[in-house]
Structure 1
């Protein structure tokens, strides 16, 4: 006979053995999984196997274990299946990213440093140059190669839009106009606010990259350099220092420009029929980061001050463009000349925009701000979801909502905020404004535009100016 104490001891030993037996599948799976992981890492590091092929191989190997493991613990099979689903989803996302970027399949470098040290690094080529006059051959292919070698750097934003680099700058010395430095600082803040809200990068330059190509010609060597320095950027958005972004919500309709490489404001009739040098404005434009653009800028720069033909082109441009004064060759006249004389070569990739204020002349705009603000306030009163509080990172979502209502009520350019207001002829830094304007008109108009734009930013932070050209603000009473 077994007494009660012995029975309890035997029972306890049996339970402990049962627990040990029940835990056996878990430890077996864990050890097998660890060995599989070590083997996988070894294959990746030393065998040069493609990680996608490896993932397929691992899944095939794992499937052989599923039926065996399920006999011991069905939950383990469920976890494995979840992991496989996650791996499949990652592969699908990577495939979509490659399709979005137009990338071909190619083995990736294990690190950025590995590419930088490799023979594929075209930046190490002694013939590779940042400057105008030294053509970069096969730039489109080089950009794609760089993007494939740096998969963590995307040529599109979080919202899936092609990446834009905002490019602007100002003179490398203090302004002569007493208020000039303050105005230049505010125009910088204006562009930086827009870039922060929309997730764009900006390069602000304050030095001449080519001493001969000064003033309005300085943009060409700068853009050329920026393209090479930023292969991840699909577009370069050039903005003169006296251009103010006055709609902080609007974004370029890039899908509209998918077949074009150069976008600027103007009127085709004024360019191709009237041959007017004022048919476009060269102070604000989008240019695609591609070989075509590099070739175009090389051709454009031939009429600039670094070229031996510079003085000759002054008269040539005036002969072709009847309303142009006989002065030195300038970038805008040279651009119109190319559009007319070499239309077959370049015209098919140039888009002249006038359906919205891609950039608008300040005299036509600065007096409309109060009326535009009233229309936007009325829109928010009618559609209260537009007048809620939201974080700055959510601003673009509300901009999309507003755009939908704007399209319903839009009756013309003056019904909505102008995207960019350009103070051409005002020269706020030097003070050497066009004599047909008064200095006070230029300065007051510029400050009104900056305040109008800044109010849109302050709204995100819960405040609004009492009026334009005022430093006093009031808190906003939002709808619930």
Structure 2
């Protein structure tokens, strides 16, 4: 015999309760929808207003390069300062042929690093006269401003960001010891300047933003200071506007692509330098001429790879040869110490250097800079000559060689150049 259900069946009263519950649920759902639409509308309105405000601000800035708000000046400098270098000129359009010294190269001159400045020396002189307290603010001698950068996105190589962290720590240590300001950039300042060329708009921006700095010092992210005691002999360059590690014979007689290295260089904060950067950048702006210029540079220079797009190093060597009267006399090719030191020739000698010598020489006895050209620490796309493991081990040695000079101040040293472990002295 089937048992009776324990739950009573629906009645008239029970049906009314169910109907009321359904009505309440429908009403609540509609209230949720209305609330969501209202909140969504507020968010959209806020986004549109923010976009409009940002766009208008950007258009306002681009319409008038000569005006900086006092509020921004106060935030950046602590007081209202009339920053120079913001006047602009309309760039020339069209193409030209370089026909100096028998060399001929088709270059697009419609591109210019902006804003175009033609009276920088006068602007800078006036600014320094109005702000005498800023002169020499970087160092007590000849002011330096170090600039370096890396890509804005994470490294493809899993160890790449770790290497970059060590490299910037190394640069900060050197700058702290010698009273040098440093700017490390991770933004691409000009979409037309990519790959090797990103340094040009950054160096130029540093010049304009820091008229108090006499020299802008560029250093690649994969270059490390390995002699923390060595100081640049700036008095030696009083008659020059640019200092690059290189050799006169290889640049001007052999016209060799490896006659100098653009990984580390000094450039004076003056009109000559701004003019050079403009002439230089015209050979590297992204566009159809870039590959053509690369082919020309390969035909013009020895030891340059085939099928290689225009690069900053080859372009500078070309300019120094093609327009000697304009550029050559103001460029100092330095080889008496390692402003740039090729890691392959140096790292294996570190232990011997430590036994025989001490920091402060900057040359073969103890290299000032060790540059890991070809290792591509961030991308991981190493030169076929060097394995990723070899690059990793040698970067570790270079970093520890420099870091030991810092740790010694605090009473420690690395267990070995291959180890991150430290011991008491």
Distance 1:114 1:419, change over 3 A: closer
Cα deviations by residue, 1:115-136 (Å, 9 ceiling, x for unpaired): 54xxxx646756699x715421
The CA distance in 1 between the partners of 2:364 and 2:88, in whole Å, is 53
CA separation in 2, counterparts of 1:174 and 1:114? 37
**What is aligned with 2:24?**
none
For residue 396 of structure 2, give the secondary structure of its aligned residue in structure 1.
helix
Tell me which of 412, 418, 428 is aligned to 2:367: 418
1:433 to 363, 367, 382: 382
Q: 1:157 to 1:124 in 2, by over 3 A?
A: closer
Q: Are residue 371 (structure 1) and residue 320 (structure 2) matched? A: no
The match for 1:471 among 414, 420, 423 is: 420
Question: How far apart, in 2, do the equivalents of 1:248 and 1:128 lie?
Answer: 45
| Equivalent of residue 155 in structure 2, options 155, 175, 180 | 175
Shift of the 292–126 alpha-carbon distance from structure 1 to 2, 3 Å rule, reads: closer
- Larger helix percent: 1
Instruction: Name the SS for the 1:282 alignment partner.
Output: strand
- What is the 5 A alignment of 1:143-222? 143-155=124-136, 157-158=138-139, 160-222=140-202
TM-score, structure 1 as length reference: 0.65
How has the CA–CA distance of structure 1 residues 112 and 167 changed in structure 2, closer, same or farther, with 3 Å as cutoff?
closer
**Corresponding position of 2:29:** none
> Per the alignment, do residues 299 and 464 of structure 1 end up closer, same or farther by CA in structure 2, a change over 3 Å counting?
same
- Deviation by residue 1:252-294 (Cα, 9 ceiling, x = unmatched): 1000011001101111111111111111101110000100000
In the superposition, relative to structure 1, how do residues 211 and 126 fare at CA in structure 2: closer, same or farther (>3 Å)?
closer
Match of 1:374, SS state, is helix
After TM superposition, the structure 1 stretch with the greater mean CA deviation from structure 2, 138-147 or 228-237, is 138-147
Q: Distance in 2 between matches of 1:347 and 1:198?
A: 30
Find the counterpart in structure 1 of residue 334 from structure 2.
353
Alpha-carbon spacing, 1:376–1:319, altered in 2? closer, same or farther (3 Å): closer
Question: For the aligned residues, what is the CA RMSD?
Answer: 2.2
CA contact (8 A) 1:300 1:334 kept: yes
> What's the offset of the Cα at 1:339?
1.2
Q: Are the counterparts in 1 of residues 223 and 370 from structure 2 also a CA contact under 8 Å?
A: yes
Q: Does 1:446 align with 2:402?
A: no
Given that residues 142 and 214 in structure 2 are in contact (C-alpha distance below 8 angstroms), is that contact kept between their aligned partners in structure 1? yes
Q: Distance in 1 between matches of 2:288 and 2:237?
A: 35
| Structure 1 gap segments, 5+ residues each | 1-110, 378-401, 407-411
Q: Flag structure 2 segments of 5+ consecutive residues without an equivalent.
A: 1-76, 92-111
Residue in 1 aligned with 2:298? 318
The residue aligned with 2:404 is 455
- Alpha carbons of structure 1 residues 251 and 413: separation in structure 2 relative to 1, 3 Å: closer
Indicate if the aligned counterparts of 2:242 and 2:267 stay in contact, CA closer than 8 A.
yes
1:75-474 aligned within 5 A: 116=82, 122=84, 125=87, 132-155=113-136, 157-158=138-139, 160-306=140-286, 309-326=289-306, 327-376=308-357, 413-415=363-365, 417-474=366-423
Counting only pairs closer than 5 Å after superposition, residues 38-77 of structure 1 correspond to structure 2 as: none
**What count of residue pairs does the alignment treat as equivalent?**
328
Task: Call closer, same or farther: CA 1:269–1:289 in 2, change over 3 Å.
Answer: same
